[in-house]
Homo-oligomer: A and B are copies of this chain.
């Protein structure tokens, strides 16, 4: 017996399922770099914002301060990220040469991954998505801070 599922008509459900599919595909694409999704995004943000701090990265990616710690630690252990003491509290993050190479490789893979999906959608619909998804993000109920 094949079941009915009225959740199919729920935006949140569709979003969750679609996001899971893309995340799984991304994971596969990045698996042989041994980079987790959260680590790649961190790497790329540092790549385009040299000398940023750890909490700044967290703010732009919506990753809590506490959860940034193991991410940065692992990127440093692997020699992809370096940091320079700034003022006794904060560090300036930069990529090492290996980090830059890794970031370039990751971007290429992400591009392949992305076009696998956008190719199916067509430009018009893709544009609608890039308009709608930020709208959804901006709809956080007012009482939650950054």
Contacts and interface: CB of A to CB of B under 8 A. Distances in A.
A128 B132 contact: yes
Q: How many copies does the complex hold?
A: 2
Nearest to A128: B128
A7 interface: yes
Overall SS of chain A's interface: helix
Interface string A55-67: 0110111100000
Contacts of A28: 141
B141 A12 contact: no
Contact of A12 (B22, B128, B144): B22
Interface string A15-43: 11111111111101000000000000100
Given A7-B41, A16-B19, A61-B5, A139 B116 contact: yes
Nearest to A118: B11
Contacts of A4: 48-49
Nearest to A37: B16
A14 interface: yes
Contacts of A118: 11
A133 to B, nearest CB: 4
A135 B120 contact: yes
The 6 closest A-B pairs by CB, nearest first: A14-B133, A19-B19, A18-B136, A12-B22, A18-B133, A15-B19
